[in-house]
A and B are shown apart, each in its own frame.
Chain A
Amino acid sequence: MMHALTAPLLRHSAHTRGWHRFLEHRPAAISAVVLAVLVLLAACQPLIVAAMGHDPDAVDLLARFEPPSWGHLLGTDELGRDVFLRLLAGGRVSLFVGVIAALIGTFVGTLVGICAGYYGGRIDSILMRTTDAVIALPLLPVLIVVAAIDPAKLGIPEAWRGGDGADLTRIVVIIALFGWTTVARLVRGAALALREQEFVRAATALGATPLRIMRVHLLPNMASPIIVATTLSVGHVILFESVLSFLGLGIQPPRASWGNMLTGAQELIWSAPMLVVYPGMLIFVTVMAFNFLGDGLQHALDPRATRRGERRTA
Chain B
Amino acid sequence: MGRYLAGRLIQTALVMLAMSLAVYLLIGLMPGDPIDLMVSGDPRITAADSERLRALHGLDRPLWERYLSWLGPALGGDLGYSRLHAQPVLSVLMPYLGNTALLMGLSFVLAVVLALPLGIWAARREGEPVDHAINLFCFAGISVPPFWLALLLMMLFAVALGWLPAGGVETVGGGGFWDRAVHLVLPVATLTLASVAGYARFMRASTIEVLRRDFVRTARAKGASESRVVLHHVLRNALLPVITLVALNFGALFSGALITETMFSYPGMGKMIYDAIMANDYNLALAGLLLATLLTLLANLAADLGYAALDPRVSLERAAA
Binding site for B on A (CB under 8 A): 27, 133, 135-142, 144-146, 148-150, 152-154, 235, 239, 242-243, 246-247, 259, 262, 265-266, 269-270, 273, 276-277, 279-280, 283-284, 287-288, 291-292, 295, 308-309, 312-313
Total CB contacts across the A-B interface at under 8 A: 142
**Beyond known contacts A150-B30, A269-B159, A269-B166: 11 more, CB 8 A cutoff:** A136-B251, A138-B289, A144-B273, A150-B29, A154-B29, A243-B259, A280-B148, A283-B145, A284-B145, A291-B139, A312-B212
CB within 8 Å for A149 and B30 given contacts A283-B148, A313-B127: yes
Stretch in B48-56, B234-242, B292-300 with 4+ CB within 8 Å of A: B292-300
Can you pick out 7 interface pairs between chain A and chain B where the beta carbons lie within 8 Å of each other? A140-B254, A141-B270, A150-B29, A246-B145, A246-B147, A277-B152, A279-B148
Q: Which residues of B contact A279 (CB under 8 A)?
A: 148
Give the complex CA separation of A19 and B94 in angstroms.
56
Q: Which residues of A contact B146 (CB under 8 A)?
A: 243
Give the complex CA separation of A152 and B33 in angstroms.
14
B81 contacts partner chain A, Cβ-Cβ < 8 Å? no
Q: Which residues of B contact A148 (CB under 8 A)?
A: 30-31, 277-278
Query: Closest chain B residue to A268 by CB distance?
Result: B151
Query: Closest chain B residue to A308 by CB distance?
Result: B212
CB within 8 Å for A280 and B274 given contacts A136-B300, A137-B296, A287-B143: no
Q: Number of contacting residues on B, CB 8 A?
A: 54
Contact with B293, one of A137, A152, A270 (Cβ below 8 angstroms): A137
Give min CB distance, A90 to chain B, whole Å.
13
Q: Which residues of A contact B143 (CB under 8 A)?
A: 235, 239, 284, 287-288, 291
Contact with A153, one of B23, B31, B154, B212 (Cβ below 8 angstroms): B31
Q: Which residues of B contact A137 (CB under 8 A)?
A: 19, 251, 293, 296
Give the complex CA separation of A117 and B240 in angstroms.
26
The answer to whether A150 touches B126, judged by C-beta atoms less than 8 angstroms apart, is no
Query: Closest chain B residue to A144 by CB distance?
Result: B277
Q: Which residues of B contact A139 (CB under 8 A)?
A: 251-252, 255
The answer to whether B208 touches A312, judged by C-beta atoms less than 8 angstroms apart, is yes
Give the complex CA separation of A145 and B142 in angstroms.
24
B258 contacts partner chain A, Cβ-Cβ < 8 Å? yes
Give min CB distance, A243 to chain B, whole Å.
6
The answer to whether A262 touches B288, judged by C-beta atoms less than 8 angstroms apart, is no
Give min CB distance, B257 to chain A, whole Å.
9
The answer to whether A145 touches B27, judged by C-beta atoms less than 8 angstroms apart, is yes
- CB-CB contacts below 8 Å: B11-42 with A: 15, 18-19, 23, 26-32
Q: Which residues of A contact B258 (CB under 8 A)?
A: 138, 140-141
The answer to whether A243 touches B139, judged by C-beta atoms less than 8 angstroms apart, is no
B248 contacts partner chain A, Cβ-Cβ < 8 Å? yes
Q: Which residues of B contact A136 (CB under 8 A)?
A: 15, 248, 251, 293, 296-297, 300
The answer to whether A280 touches B145, judged by C-beta atoms less than 8 angstroms apart, is yes
Q: Which residues of B contact A149 (CB under 8 A)?
A: 26, 29-31
The answer to whether B155 touches A273, judged by C-beta atoms less than 8 angstroms apart, is yes
Give min CB distance, B83 to chain A, whole Å.
16
The answer to whether B155 touches A288, judged by C-beta atoms less than 8 angstroms apart, is no
The answer to whether B289 touches A247, judged by C-beta atoms less than 8 angstroms apart, is no
Contact with A135, one of B154, B208, B251, B259 (Cβ below 8 angstroms): B251
B262 contacts partner chain A, Cβ-Cβ < 8 Å? yes
The answer to whether B248 touches A141, judged by C-beta atoms less than 8 angstroms apart, is no
The answer to whether A141 touches B145, judged by C-beta atoms less than 8 angstroms apart, is no
B285 contacts partner chain A, Cβ-Cβ < 8 Å? yes
Contact with A138, one of B155, B159, B293 (Cβ below 8 angstroms): B293
Interface centre among B144, B151, B259, B273 (most CB of A within 10 A): B151
Give the complex CA separation of A150 and B277 in angstroms.
13
B224 contacts partner chain A, Cβ-Cβ < 8 Å? no
Interface string of B157-170 (1 = CB under 8 A from A): 01100000010000
Give min CB distance, B277 to chain A, whole Å.
6
Q: Which residues of B contact A270 (CB under 8 A)?
A: 159
Give the complex CA separation of A142 and B292 in angstroms.
10
Give the complex CA separation of A150 and B18 in angstroms.
22
Q: Which residues of B contact A142 (CB under 8 A)?
A: 23, 289
The answer to whether A262 touches B151, judged by C-beta atoms less than 8 angstroms apart, is yes
Give the complex CA separation of A295 and B293 in angstroms.
31
Give min CB distance, A156 to chain B, whole Å.
11
Give the complex CA separation of A313 and B146 in angstroms.
35
The answer to whether A145 touches B289, judged by C-beta atoms less than 8 angstroms apart, is yes
CB within 8 Å for A150 and B31 given contacts A284-B143, A291-B139: yes
Q: Which residues of A contact B252 (CB under 8 A)?
A: 139
Give the complex CA separation of A313 and B127 in angstroms.
7
Give the complex CA separation of A259 and B258 in angstroms.
16
Give the complex CA separation of A270 and B144 in angstroms.
22
Query: Closest chain A residue to B300 by CB distance?
Result: A136
Q: Which residues of B contact A291 (CB under 8 A)?
A: 139, 142-143
Give the complex CA separation of A312 and B278 in angstroms.
53
B310 contacts partner chain A, Cβ-Cβ < 8 Å? no
The answer to whether B15 touches A262, judged by C-beta atoms less than 8 angstroms apart, is no
Query: Closest chain A residue to B256 by CB distance?
Result: A140
